[in-house]
Amino acid sequence: MGWDHWCVDTEDRPAETSGDEAATTPHEPQPQLPPKLVFRVPGIALLAVLFAAMCATPIAFAKPGLQVIYLVPLAIGVWVVRNRTVVDRERLVARTTFGGRDLPWAEVAAVKVGAKSWAVAVLDDETEVPLPAVRARHLSLLAAMSGGRMGDPSAAE
């Protein structure tokens, strides 16, 4: 899987090296990292929200006042659209449904895997900040974006 699979801004990605430059390097060139990585719930989840709203329609119009049931799919839709983690070379931005947290890499002591394989950033003061939509399989991408501040757990030694 290429790096740009996780990237929203692929236009800002550094240009690939030409064939002549690649031939002169003694080792295999590393893939170019995008300027930022965005981890989010897949947009296809909004189809489930739409389906839930359609299924709620017969119930919502059964009696006056039951239209409030539409708040459930609306809340889930907001959660799908809003929750994300954006990672670049300077910081991690963990955005949740009702807030967010900007974490410079200098403040991040470690990234650990919490409950159900979700990633959690541990700060210098031992505060834990959940990273929405970042799973254990994404730790090597985080390590690459950290610029050496975080070790790659999948690297064979």
Q: What is the mean pLDDT of residues 68-86?
A: 95
Q: What is the mean pLDDT of the chain?
A: 82
What one-character-per-residue DSSP string does 70-83 give? GHHHHHHHHHHHH-
Q: Are 32 and 7 in contact (CB under 8 A)?
A: no
* Residue 123: pLDDT over 70: yes
d(CA 89, CA 72): 37
Mean pLDDT of all residues in 63-67: 92
Q: Are 145 and 125 in contact (CB under 8 A)?
A: no
Mean of pLDDT values over 127-133: 93
| Domains of the chain, CATH where assigned | 33-145 (2.30.29.30)
